Structure 1
Amino acid sequence: MPQGTLQAGERGFSLIELMVVMVIVGIATAAISLSIAPDPAQDLRRDARELVQHLAVAQNEVRVDGRVIAWQANGDGYSFARGTWHAAPGSAIPVVSTAGALDTFVRDDELRPRQWRVTPVEVTPARPVLLTSEPIGASWRMELRHGSATVVVLRDAAGGYEVR
């Protein structure tokens, strides 16, 4: 008997049966992929965890260099800038008091300007965060918000960060 032929009583799958199985598998795959929609809160939490790491790097840089680094966010992303900062009289908004350009860390892998994964992101409070060389500083709370998702970044007085 030639190889590949069926003996009496043996039966293979028909082309129609194989096509039905493939359609069922395709429908199940599509249903699963549609139910796994990206969670904007997950991307926001990932951005917050990375932000905390970059803030810690910037804090260490300030302690080594001695110059204040400011962190500023907008709806699309955030950036760090190094210079001498002070609050203008009657305002909590820091302004640069050095002549010349600020160091914006464009070529620094850790402190370069970054984009949020999801946009726009609303940051509260909206003012810049100043990182100083003081070993003990004020604790603060920052909220990152995108749509209905909110992630909180906390800094304690000793410089530790937490994402909630």
Structure 2
Amino acid sequence: MRHTPKRARARGFTLLELLVVVMIIGIAVGMATLALRDADANRLEEEGARLAALFEGARARARAEGTEVLWQPKREIGNGFTFTGLPPDSGIPTHWLDERTRGEIIGAPVLRLGPEPVIGAQRVVLRIEDRQLVLATDGLGPFVVVAPEEQP
């Protein structure tokens, strides 16, 4: 009887095993990159979305009540902003989420939010440290964050 030699067991990893490991490493690196995102950029985006929602709420209220509503950032550090034309008990916040936030209206002393349905094109720049974000409206649509390539 003849003995056939057993096949020598291959040592090492298969291609499939290597691909799975590389995929797991790629997912872990991607998640770490997202977790390490700049906190100021996150805070500025959050502030921009909140302020755009506040503007739209104030615009709607100005149209509903037929009163002129103006918005203006306060110049003093950490003091926020004011909505003129709304009652003090309106419940609309007048402070920044992050006290380092600064706002600046481009081309006007105040932002006009109503009562007219068409308010004219307006822009507001928000800054935290060296980061900035621009909120803009064409006067018909809502305030939105403008991408850097769309900024003049």
Return the TM-score normalized by structure 2. Answer: 0.61
Q: How does 1:1-164 map to 2 (within 5 A)?
A: 36=36, 39-74=39-74, 75-76=77-78, 77-82=80-85, 103-105=86-88, 107-109=89-91, 111-125=92-106, 127-164=109-146
Give, in whole Å, the separation in 2 of the partners of 1:52 and 1:81.
Answer: 17
State the aligned residue count.
109
Give, in whole Å, the separation in 1 of the partners of 2:67 and 2:56.
Answer: 15
Return the TM-score normalized by structure 1. Answer: 0.57
Unaligned runs of 5+ in 1: 1-31, 83-102
After superposition, give the CA deviation of every residue in 1:56-105 in whole Å (9 maximum; x if it has no partner). 010011101111111111242112121xxxxxxxxxxxxxxxxxxxx553
Contact 1:43 1:118 in 2 (8 A): no
| 2:82 counterpart SS class | strand
Q: 1:120: how far off?
A: 4.3
The root-mean-square deviation of aligned C-alpha atoms, in Å, is: 2.4
| 2:135 counterpart SS class | strand
Unaligned runs of 5+ in 2: 1-31, 147-152
Q: 1:43: how far off?
A: 0.6
Give, in whole Å, the separation in 2 of the partners of 1:137 and 1:60.
Answer: 12
Q: 1:153: how far off?
A: 0.1
Identity %: 19
**CA spacing shift, 1:128–1:104, aligned 2, 3 Å:** farther
Moved over 6 A (4+): none
| 1:113 counterpart SS class | coil
